[in-house]
Amino acid sequence: MRKCGGSIGGSPADRMGGMELRELNIGCFGGGTGLPSLLGGLKSNPWLTLNAVVTMFDSGGSSGQLKDELGVLPPGDVLKCALALARNEGEARRVLLARLPTLEHHEKLGGHTGGNLLLSMMEQYSGDFLAAVDGLRGLLGCRGRVWPVTIERASICAEYQDGSLSEGEVEVDAEQLRGHQVKRLWLAPDASIHPTVADAIRGFDAVIIGPGSFFTSLMPPVLVRGVKEALAEVRGPVILIANLLTEGRGMSGFTAADAARWIEKAIGRPVDVVIANSEGPSPEVLARYAVEHKTPLEIGDLDSECQLVLGQFWRKDIARHDRRRLSFAVWSVLTDRLLRANPHSSRTSTLVV
């Protein structure tokens, strides 16, 4: 049986076919640059309590280096989400995303962001990554919670259509760019969700997945053991925000419907709503991305019971969802699915936001 958002029974709004507003507890899954952008747009909505459930399998850059050298969990994705939820996001980003110069006798510190070093130091001091993240949240005055999906060390592994294999976030991304199509994705070793995070997920009114690099930011969190079971207890809708572009030759022909099927297989329940872009930028901008073998993500053949919500979210030359428009689209879906007495039943909605 499909689980999707319903209405508040027994209230005057329910009896009169209206709406009764209440605070909604929302879980946002992903990582990279997509999840912080979504959080930054949603955090100004006073009716939303935000929770970022963040991928923990970064193997490149400053995060990967700190993981290898200090034995800490990769801090980068968690840091970016905390900054997006910070009371003063601009100032916090300016200070904590600045990279340290190479210093004499301290060469290993060079190139790392101040925020990555701070979070790693807090983890080593407390001995508990969840406590370190909560401490950073308090320091930044975050409007919402940031949950690392697991505190167990693991790597993303992929098998491709030609039978070849790769391990690590950076390597999986690189193989896609080279034209290898992902056939299977898993974590090695298996990683389990932290019980505190599982409890938090069970309390969500709805779940949002995306946007972000599909196989290295969106899929890994839902592959963690225990996430599927926690999501089964979420009564509200699962909402997938489709990416604007494919991600290299290995995703040629990949669609939003394919993304929904991958997610559904991992979580064991349907994707109820897909939010997708309806209009691209100028041909000149598209041509620039085409050189990198990145093309607009097509909708594809969605399940007949999955609601498609369309809007123009690509507003500038860079391929990034417009924060404000996306936040309004998400709020429209949430009010329709969770707050209206008679939820909208049409499969396709075209939003002008």
Domain stop point among 144, 160, 180? 144
The tokens of 241 are what? 């925000």
Q: Are residues 298 and 202 in the same domain?
A: yes
Q: Are residues 36 and 133 in the same domain?
A: no
Q: Containing H/E element for 150?
A: none
Domain-located, residue 166: no
CA-based nearest residue to 27, from 11, 44, 42: 42
What one-character DSSP code corresponds to residue 249? G
User: Residue holding tokens 């690392």?
Assistant: 148
Helix intervals (H) in the chain: 12-15, 34-42, 61-70, 76-84, 89-96, 114-126, 129-140, 169-177, 195-202, 219-223, 227-231, 256-267, 283-290, 323-334
CA 149 to chain centre: 11
Task: Quick: pLDDT tens for 230-257.
Answer: 999 999 999 999 999 999 999 999 999 9
Residue-wise burial string across 152-184, b where 16 or more C-beta atoms lie within 10 A, e elsewhere? bebbbbbebeeeeebebbbbbbebbbeebbbee
How, if at all, do strands 145-148 and 48-54 pair? parallel
Task: Quick: pLDDT tens for 133-150.
Answer: 898 899 899 999 999 999
Task: Quick: pLDDT tens for 61-83.
Answer: 554 455 445 444 667 789 899 99
Domain-located, residue 163: no
CATH number of the domain bearing residue 339: 3.40.50.10680
What are the per-10-residue average pLDDT scores of the chain (353 residues)?
Answer: 50 66 97 94 97 84 49 74 89 71 51 72 81 89 94 94 93 91 96 97 98 96 98 98 95 97 98 96 95 96 95 95 97 94 57 50
Q: Are residues 200 and 248 in the same domain?
A: yes
Domain-located, residue 153: no
Domain count, the chain: 2
Q: Are residues 312 and 325 in the same domain?
A: yes
124 phi and psi angles, rounded to 5 deg: -65, -35
**Distance between CA 187 and CA 73 in Å, rounded?**
15
pTM of the model: 0.88
Q: Are residues 105 and 25 in the same domain?
A: no
User: Residue holding tokens 């009564």?
Assistant: 235
Q: Which domain holds residue 125?
A: 58-144
CA-based nearest residue to 89, from 53, 147, 142: 142
How, if at all, do strands 145-148 and 165-167 pair? unpaired
Q: Are residues 48 and 63 in the same domain?
A: no
Q: Are residues 34 and 69 in the same domain?
A: no
How, if at all, do strands 165-167 and 155-160 pair? antiparallel
